[in-house]
Chains A and B, each alone.
Chain A
Amino acid sequence: MFASNNKISVRQVYRLFVFDLIGISTLVLPSRLAYFSDSDGLLAIIIGGAIASAYLWYLGKIIAGMKMDVTSYLEAYLPTWLTKLILGFLGLHAVWVAGFGAYIFADVMKLGLLPEESYTLLLTLILIVAAYAVHGGIESRARIYEVLFVLLAVLLFLMLLLAAFDIQWDYIGPFFDSAPGNTMKGSILVFFCFMPLFAVLFFPAYMEKGREKKMVRAVAAALWTAVFVLFLLYFILLGSFGSGALKTMRYPAVTLMSNIHLRSSFLKRFDAFMLGIWFFTLFALINLFLFYGTELLMRLFVPSGRPSRGYIWYLLGITVMVFAAAELFYYRGWSGFFQNYVCYVGMPLLVLLPGLILVVGKSRGVRKR
């Protein structure tokens, strides 16, 4: 029946991407932006948003050129060995990013809610739930975030509004004070956090035919929603703590929440409730990459034309790999290594790869299966 066509709506795409983009960016970016460019971090956010927007435009052109999703295109046009190589790389990248997301998730929850609890327990629990969500397929995933969207948007803007009352205007500025190079570094970081945009290349498979343009427009709207939220949050963080203090904080947004006071409320602090925002946004990111990791791993062994069985085993395999990555980030401090990987390998490849795939595909024509 109509509800089981494995297709999602444009509104669902928008809401999914909003969650995917604001999770890590609002947690990790503020202190790094303050480190690089102080108040000019606001400018870096806009420039980063513009770069991400250009990247999305480029991905939109690639989708128009491919006329299908990237995995189907790879299988149809590229040689098998190259297809497998690219699928393998993308799969591993998905594992890395999901692992990083899971690490940030468990770390934030441990820090904000359960300082005495074991990191591994929190990680295990959330990965089990994420695997359960992924097992429901793209439709189930989209539905979860379609329902949560309004609730979390209200919570987020309530938090930002309450925090805005405590802004010290002296902390904001001076502007255009940082070196342009540092502002650009901040922008690149913003762009790095918006790299989940790459996932848009997989989406044509989950959309009704002929809705690709609308889909890209919805993702662009989601991107600018995320830029707006990030801008607002950074502005409030600057006003609340000043860039000097911001640099030293691990997760400034979490600290901000513990400082929010609602006049005439019977509750003293809201941090436990507000952490729900990051609970769901980070979960969305883990979910996204766990989902694509599993899909890519499966495509590596079972091309799309053949009937595939044992989805659960691929999912389990990827979940274990994500778990291992998140453990390495926490216990071995591999997050620095991950950042280097993203800067020097992941990001350049994700920028160049779509274009290369299209060029090679166009030059070769359809491959016989």
Chain B
Amino acid sequence: MGDAKTRISTDLQLNIDRYQRLFTDCADIKMRRMALGQNKSRECFIAYIEVSVSNMLLETTALGRALAYLGEAPDEEVNSVLDKNAMGISDVTPFLYVEDAAQGMLTGDAILFVDGYDKALKIADKGYPGAAIKEPDSEKSIRGSREGFTDSIKMNTALIRKRLRSTRVRVKELEQGVRSHTKVDMVYMQDLANPMVLEEIQKRLEAYEIDGVLDSGVIEQLAERKWYSPFPQFQTTQRPDRAALAVMEGRVVVLSDNSPVALILPTDFNSFIKTSDDYYNRFEEATFARILRYFAVFFSMALPGLYLAVTNFHTQILPTPLLLSFWEARIGVPFPAALEVILMELSFELLREAGVRLPGAMGNTIGIVGGLIIGQAAVDANIVSPIVVIVVAFTALCSFSIPNEEFAFSFRILKFFLIIMSAWLGFFGLLVGLLVILIHLSRLKSFGIPYLMPFVGADLSGYEDERDSIWRAPFRRLTHRPIYANEKERVKLKRK
């Protein structure tokens, strides 16, 4: 940082010495001398990271093609060919400084120095290895696209562009991490994104100087205002269609190199409940699914607490036969009900963690072994009552129904808070706990947008946003963009 840069010289040996000094003890960097021009009198030097450039230098690659062209060009014309970029390839970037050239090589391309030429050229080849496009595991869709983001930021921006073939789509590139030099792209629609939001996002992205950004999660954590909140203030997605939809809503998608997870902002509570499928399916189906998910959100957080409140404090609300069956189920269980619920919930979280860490097939086995066999054994051994197993299983089912993993995690954590409150003060404790969560949510914002939109402040958008909340109006009624969009560009659907 802040070191003086070295201008590239016309003396090739000088450039080679400087370049090699930068990459001393780097076995993965390949550096080769070659001869160019018809008479092979122009020496050149090529440097690249081993796996990012084909060793064969095939004619089909930009680099191979460039070298072949230069190999045939008259010696005295090499400089002018390079200056005019007359090699018939597009992806060539000239650099004036050795350090910039080195940085360019680290993006996965090859660097070419030519004797007597005072610039270095970055020429693209196959680039770093990366995973292929595949459907994201955590955001399955029944009807939508099967494509998911990859580790390559270029591939990811292309996947969004593929869906939004508009000249108004902007991709603003920033660099994060003083050591990792990670590319971070802000993708947005020029006329739809709110300029204030855009400015705020960029300000926050540039607010920290960090060693390295290895995933978009790092950016997310640094840019969040209320870092102590259990609720994510950035929405994440691995689906390009979801990201494209967000861009069309006037939101900004942040992509980080080496991360298949895109960040969408601003966001709100309701956005986490929506899925891509909601817009591809008919409104009745989408509405029904959303209502189910809202119930799932509530029960994934409150069901164990509610169970404790009713069975420990307010048994009068239960009919006698049900109360007796609860009581019978608990006979012989040595733990108090609260401890029993906490132990079961913790065991379940442990199983879940184990299932995630283990390879595919084994992970599934753990689920079956844990859920069925250990659960049954625990009930038979009178360690837990069957009703608690049902409560915990139903809570887990609700938790899995929440479409976003980070969002679901908030409720998994808050569940323990509500268990404690309910175990202490019954239904009163549960209400206090829920009220505290609601107050927290009411104070939460994502880039100036209230987190509880559109349930609050819906009048700001003429109540249009309410049509896409718990209830999803028929598609022809979804005529306006959400509040995130530029105020002058809210209409998205009208009859011709």
Interface string of A23-53 (1 = CB under 8 A from B): 0000000000000000000000000000000
CB B321 to nearest CB in A, in angstroms, measures 10
In the complex, the answer to whether A147 meets B427 with C-beta atoms within 8 Å is no
In the complex, the answer to whether A147 meets B425 with C-beta atoms within 8 Å is no
Name the CB-closest residue of A to B457: A9
In the complex, the answer to whether A275 meets B435 with C-beta atoms within 8 Å is no
Q: B317 within 8 Å of A by Cβ?
A: yes
Interface string of B447-477 (1 = CB under 8 A from A): 1111010011111100000000000000000
- Identify which of B114-122, B138-146, B382-390, B438-446 touches chain A: B438-446
Q: A10 within 8 Å of B by Cβ?
A: yes
A1-B196, A269-B317 known; A147+B442 contact, CB < 8 A: yes
In the complex, the answer to whether B439 meets A133 with C-beta atoms within 8 Å is yes
In the complex, the answer to whether B439 meets A132 with C-beta atoms within 8 Å is yes
In the complex, the answer to whether B436 meets A113 with C-beta atoms within 8 Å is no
A140-B442, A146-B456 known; A279+B448 contact, CB < 8 A: no
Q: A270 within 8 Å of B by Cβ?
A: yes
In the complex, the answer to whether B322 meets A266 with C-beta atoms within 8 Å is yes
In the complex, the answer to whether A117 meets B316 with C-beta atoms within 8 Å is no
Task: Give chain B interface residues in 72-110, CB to chain A under 8 Å.
Answer: none
In the complex, the answer to whether A117 meets B447 with C-beta atoms within 8 Å is no
A3-B445, A117-B425 known; A268+B439 contact, CB < 8 A: no
A140 to B316, CA, bound (A): 36
A279 — which chain B residues lie within 8 A by C-beta? 428, 431, 435
A146 — which chain B residues lie within 8 A by C-beta? 452, 455-457
A129 to B316, CA, bound (A): 28
A126 — which chain B residues lie within 8 A by C-beta? 432
Task: Give chain A interface residues in 263-278, CB to chain B under 8 Å.
Answer: 266-273, 275-276
A114-B426, A129-B435, A266-B322 known; A143+B457 contact, CB < 8 A: yes
Q: Of B319, B431, B436, B455, which is within 8 A of A132 by CB?
A: B436
A4 to B438, CA, bound (A): 18
A3-B450, A143-B457, A275-B427 known; A268+B319 contact, CB < 8 A: yes
Interface string of A271-292 (1 = CB under 8 A from B): 1110110011001000000000
Number of A positions contacting B (CB below 8 A):
42
In the complex, the answer to whether A267 meets B449 with C-beta atoms within 8 Å is no
CB B349 to nearest CB in A, in angstroms, measures 28
A133 to B442, CA, bound (A): 9
A269 — which chain B residues lie within 8 A by C-beta? 316-317
Q: Of A2, A122, A136, A272, which is within 8 A of B439 by CB?
A: A136
In the complex, the answer to whether A125 meets B439 with C-beta atoms within 8 Å is no
Interface string of A107-147 (1 = CB under 8 A from B): 00100011001000010011001001100100111111011
Name the CB-closest residue of B to A269: B317
Q: A148 within 8 Å of B by Cβ?
A: yes
A258 — which chain B residues lie within 8 A by C-beta? 316
A136 to B432, CA, bound (A): 17
In the complex, the answer to whether B200 meets A1 with C-beta atoms within 8 Å is yes
A59 to B206, CA, bound (A): 50
A10 — which chain B residues lie within 8 A by C-beta? 459
A276 — which chain B residues lie within 8 A by C-beta? 427, 431
Interface string of A136-168 (1 = CB under 8 A from B): 100111111011100000000000000000000
A125 to B449, CA, bound (A): 30
A140 — which chain B residues lie within 8 A by C-beta? 439, 442-443
Q: B174 within 8 Å of A by Cβ?
A: no
A109 to B430, CA, bound (A): 13
In the complex, the answer to whether A3 meets B435 with C-beta atoms within 8 Å is no
A139 to B457, CA, bound (A): 10
Q: A11 within 8 Å of B by Cβ?
A: yes
Name the CB-closest residue of B to A121: B425
Name the CB-closest residue of A to B314: A272
CB B87 to nearest CB in A, in angstroms, measures 49
In the complex, the answer to whether B438 meets A148 with C-beta atoms within 8 Å is yes
Q: B272 within 8 Å of A by Cβ?
A: no
Q: B369 within 8 Å of A by Cβ?
A: no
In the complex, the answer to whether A129 meets B436 with C-beta atoms within 8 Å is yes
Q: Of A2, A270, A271, A283, which is within 8 A of B448 by CB?
A: A2
Q: B333 within 8 Å of A by Cβ?
A: no
A-B interface, 4 closest residue pairs, ranked by CB to CB distance from nearest:
A1-B448, A143-B442, A143-B456, A272-B314
Give A residues with C-beta under 8 Å from B: 1-4, 9-12, 109, 113-114, 117, 122, 125-126, 129, 132-133, 136, 139-144, 146-148, 258, 266-273, 275-276, 279-280, 283
